[in-house]
Amino acid sequence: MEQIEQYKAVMTEIIAKQSIILGPEMALLRAKKVTEISFVDGKVAEVQGDPAQALKKLIDAYVELSGQIVRNALGPIFTKYPEIKSL
């Protein structure tokens, strides 16, 4: 899988996980604060600029709302994508 595709996949999984925790509307509202990401049907369709920076902003948007518990919940997702360093 191409690296940009991995970033899109991990971001989509993060949003899906947060949808369970926060509800789909709130999870997507927070994700849409990251201007580098565009969505189609609730999935990350495109990333503008540095995907690592976009990923960091996405995580920060959720941490801002829910605190450190978000980082703990994301651990299992990052184990599936070893090429992407967790932030």
Distance CA 42, CA 82 (A): 24
- Please tell me the predicted confidence (pLDDT) of residue 58: 95
Determine the average pLDDT of the residues in 62-85.
77
Determine the average pLDDT of the residues in 57-83.
81
Q: What is the secondary structure of the chain as a DSSP string? A: --HHHHHHHHHHHHHHHHHHHH-HHHHHHHHTT-TTEEEETTEEEEE-S-HHHHHHHHHHHHHHHHTHHHHHHHHHHHHT-TTSPP-
Determine the average pLDDT of the residues in 24-51.
94
- 41 vs 84: which has the higher pLDDT: 41
- 83 vs 22: which has the higher pLDDT: 22
Structure tokens of 22?
């926060």
pTM assigned to the model: 0.79
Structural domain spans, the chain? 3-79
